[in-house]
Amino acid sequence: SQKIEQNSEALNIQEGKTATLTCNYTNYSPAYLQWYRQDPGRGPVFLLLIRENEKEKRKERLKVTFDTTLKQSLFHITASQPADSATYLCALPTSGSARQLTFGSGTQLTVLP
């Protein structure tokens, strides 16, 4: 069955560095992939959507890549700031469904001042 894996450990980086988060998936070929940010006690916030025919997408300090051969997406935050500290979730359309998303368990990022 479809499986999504994100960085299993929390990620701590120094302010100003680039954070790189990984999302791997198996047993599936999604048409697109989404990234969300979630702060404690809040709902996820949509950040970026990348389609299978797009290798890379950028939005301000964010960059997402999508490698359908490796079945992997990388999420980069450049010039990271303490305000970027949050849990980041990747999500893929659920196999066999028209509208469901399947979410990974998330990676908790802490940017240290």
Residues that bind other proteins (CB under 8 A): 4, 31-32, 34, 36, 41-47, 49, 51, 89, 91, 93-94, 97-106
For other proteins, the closer of residues 104 and 111 by Cβ is: 104
Q: Which residue from 85, 80, 70 is spatially nearest to 25, judged by alpha carbons?
A: 70
**To the nearest whole angstrom, how small is the minimum distance from the Cβ of residue 42 to other proteins?**
5
**Coil, helix or strand at residue 78:** coil
For other proteins, the closer of residues 10 and 79 by Cβ is: 10
**To the nearest whole angstrom, how small is the minimum distance from the Cβ of residue 16 to other proteins?**
28
For other proteins, the closer of residues 11 and 47 by Cβ is: 47
35 close to 86: Cβ distance less than 8 angstroms: no
β strands within 39-80, DSSP E:
45-51, 56-59, 62-67, 72-77
**To the nearest whole angstrom, how small is the minimum distance from the Cβ of residue 38 to other proteins?**
9
67-99 core/surface letters (b: 16 or more CB in 10 A; e: else): eeeebebbbbbeebeeebbbbbbbbbbeeeeee
**To the nearest whole angstrom, how small is the minimum distance from the Cβ of residue 77 to other proteins?**
18
For other proteins, the closer of residues 28 and 32 by Cβ is: 32
